[in-house]
Amino acid sequence: MYKNLSNDPVSRANISYSWTYWDNAFTENELDHIVSYCEQFDKSFATTFGSKDEEEIRKHRVSDVHFFERNNETSWMFERINHIIEQMNETYYNFDLNGYKSFQYTTYDATKKGRYDWHTDLGFDMDHGESSMVRKLSMTLCLNDDYEGGEFYINKGKQEEPQLCQSKKGRAILFPSFMIHRVAPVTKGIRRSIVVWVVGPKFR
């Protein structure tokens, strides 16, 4: 779901979107297939920038992840995700992007009090090597909505008044990687999603 043209082009040119979304990115059957495929693989405890100590991380983030690269089984997923990112970036952000190597399959389990407190995806002070590439555009694809809690929020400048991004099944939510955001605690069931960080040259 996107628009190539606007009937208010001046307004669109002057707006910076804190987040955007694309509905029905995949069919119900495709989403269920993705979950079934991803669940075949062992997940590991998710880490955070600057720390790999599980006890310390659990103060801020509780989720399990597995990273997938492009292969014969995942190629069609990457193609669909690529299309969404390319169209939404062209329409709303116009960031200079190079791409991404893998996507992260993420689960937040209510029995583990899954959550991720306020953070950004930008990766400040990270060593990106000679390429100097940084995360510029983030995407989360909601694979299910049969859980409670786990709301996705964007901080637009007032942490006490965050923007709720409705996370319904099949919705791809995109936002600049420098936006502060959080996943509220899941209180029932398991929240499943695919997360992508698209990298590019430093902002200028």
pLDDT at 126 over 80: no
Give CA–CA dist 82/192, Å, rounded: 20
pLDDT tens for each residue of 35-52:
999 999 999 998 877 667
Give CA–CA dist 162/142, Å, rounded: 19
Give CA–CA dist 120/181, Å, rounded: 6
pLDDT at 130: 47
Q: Confirm if 193 and 138 have CB atoms less than 8 A apart.
A: no
pLDDT at 25: 87
pLDDT at 4: 62
pLDDT at 19: 96
pLDDT at 109 over 90: yes
Give CA–CA dist 39/111, Å, rounded: 17
Give CA–CA dist 112/122, Å, rounded: 26
Report H helices in the chain.
Answer: 9-13, 28-38, 54-57, 75-88
pTM for the full model?
Answer: 0.89
Give CA–CA dist 84/82, Å, rounded: 5
CATH topology of domain 17-200: Jelly Rolls (2.60.120)
